[in-house]
Structure 1
Amino acid sequence: MTASRLVIWRHGQTDWNLQGRWQGQADVPLNAVGRAQARRAAPALAGYGFTHLFSSDLLRAMETADILAGLVGLPVARDARLQEINVGNWVGRTMEQIGSEFTEVLIREEAGEDVVRGETGESVRQVAARTSEALREIAEGVPDGSVVGIVMHGLAARVGAFELMELAPDQAKVFRGLENCAWLVLDRGVRHDGASIWRLEAYNSRVFEA
């Protein structure tokens, strides 16, 4: 059993997004703008004809997913593996603050090293492994032909999707980050040996304000 399409949707805006603060796995809720973004995007997403919905268990993702669920009439399954990268002691700090205190770490990361965020957090490759495992299990746990909506987080969604496509996390850096309430679409293909292959159909799709 395997889904035919995965639509991976980033949560709406939070106050920390607005302030440029690193959220990681901090349980920050949507703000009023984020809820409005989700309500505006949900009808467009509903057009994909979802058969199943999944979400990170962090509040900002769950709130976003629940808005879509209320429109399409589906339950939402929560999965902690879909959470954002753990940024350790960087949580709540701005990029400026991190840049001044952890300059060497950021330089190493820009040079291609897979550094652990915030000393006690995760590296990008760890997140790619965690989230791609979840995406693969979700895709293989539903009936053939299913269309699955998955609400998660910016970095986690991007690197997890690229790992599922068997692309290196470094290749994900070529793509800009997902905007709040933007989504990407993965369609399933089949190799000659019968194994699934996932292809990027759309990236950073979103509903623009009128």
Structure 2
Amino acid sequence: MSAARVVLWRHGRTRANAEQRFQGQLDVPLDEVGRAQVAAAAAELAALEPAALVTSDLSRAADTAAALSAVTGLPAVPDPALREVHAGAWQGLLHTEITARWPQTYAAWRRGDDVRIGDTGETRGEVARRAAGAVERHAAAVPDGGTLVVAAHGAALKGAVLQLLGLAVTGWSVLAGFRNAHWAVLVPVSGGWSLAEYNVGPPGGGVGAEG
């Protein structure tokens, strides 16, 4: 039992994304633009004939997954291990507010250092291992040759990609941030994973702010 393809799909836009506000694990819903983005993305992903669909339990990811469920009939299985990075005291703040109050830590986070954010939040390494572990667990349960779609969050998915490729999280800037409603495709190779596609998605998916 193992997936032949894993699609890592970031949620659509939220109001917090549009405002450049750090969401972290706050439960922020999709906005009108986000709902349109995920509907367009779901139409494309349905053509991949996914065999399984899992999602973060935060509503912006769950509602993203629901758009694919609506066109495929696949149930979306929630998994809290796919939540966004926990950002501690940064959660709910504008990125400009974080820069003003935690200039050194925020600068380190932006350049990819493995620092603990928001005083009590997670490090990049912690979220990468958590999210990658969930992806591998669900991929192992997919019937051979099937496609797994994972609906989750920008920082969690980017960390998972690096972890699954065997790359250090300190190389964060090697990959661009996930755009809203865009996805990456991983395929299994001997002893690991290979990145087949990255930041693929429908027209109109804005970059959005990580977190």
TM-score strictly above 0.5: yes
| 1:146 matched to 2:175 | no
- Hey, which bits of structure 1, 4+ residues long, moved more than 6 A? none
Partner of 1:101: 101
Displacement after TM superposition at 1:111 (Å):
6.4
Distance 1:112 1:37, change over 3 A: closer
Aligned twin of 2:27: 27
Tell me the equivalent position of 1:206: 201
Opposite residue 182 of structure 1, the aligned amino acid is: H
On the 8 A contact 2:23/2:92 being kept in 1, the answer is yes
The whole-number CA distance in structure 2 between the counterparts of 1:111 and 1:63 is 31
Q: Which sits farther off after the overlay, 159-168 or 49-58?
A: 159-168
- Name the SS of the counterpart of 2:99 in structure 1: helix
After superposition, the Cα gap between the structure-2 partners of 1:43 and 1:108, relative to the gap in structure 1 and judged at 3 Å, is closer
In structure 2, the partner of 1:168 is: 168
- 2:47 corresponds to which residue? 47
| Displacement of 1:93 | 0.7
Q: 1:72 to 1:167 in 2, by over 3 A?
A: same
User: Offset at 1:82?
Assistant: 0.4
Which protein is bigger by CA-based radius of gyration?
Answer: 1
Q: Distance in 2 between matches of 1:98 and 1:132?
A: 27
- Distance across 1 between alignment mates of 2:94 and 2:66: 29
- Once residues 97 and 109 of structure 1 are traced to their aligned partners in structure 2, the CA distance between those partners, rounded to angstroms, is 15
Report sequence identity in percent.
38
Q: What is the deviation of 1:104?
A: 2.0
**1:157 alignment partner in structure 2:** 157
Aligned amino acid, residue 38 of structure 1: V
2:174 alignment partner, SS class:
coil
Q: Note the C-alpha offset of 1:171.
A: 2.5
Counterparts of residues 8-157 of structure 1 (less than 5 Å): 8-109=8-109, 113-157=113-157
**Compared CA separation, residues 44 and 89, structure 1 to 2 (3 A):** same
SS state at 1:22 partner:
coil
Long gaps (5+) in structure 1: none
Q: CA RMSD in A?
A: 1.3
Structure 1 residue 162: deviation in Å? Answer: 1.5
Equivalent residues of 2:114, 2:169 under 8 A apart? no
Contact 2:114/2:170 (<8 A) preserved: no
User: Displacement of 1:110 after TM fit?
Assistant: 5.3
Q: Alpha-carbon deviation of 1:205? A: 0.3
1:33-84 residue CA offsets vs partner (Å, 9 max, x unmatched) = 1001111111111111100000000000000100111101101110000000
**Structure 2 vs 1, CA of residues 180 and 140 (structure 1 numbering), >3 Å: closer, same or farther?**
same
Is there any run of 5+ residues in structure 2 with no aligned partner, and where? 205-211
The 3 A distance-change label for structure 1 pair 75 and 207 is same
Residue aligned with 1:150, SS: strand
**How many matched pairs?**
204
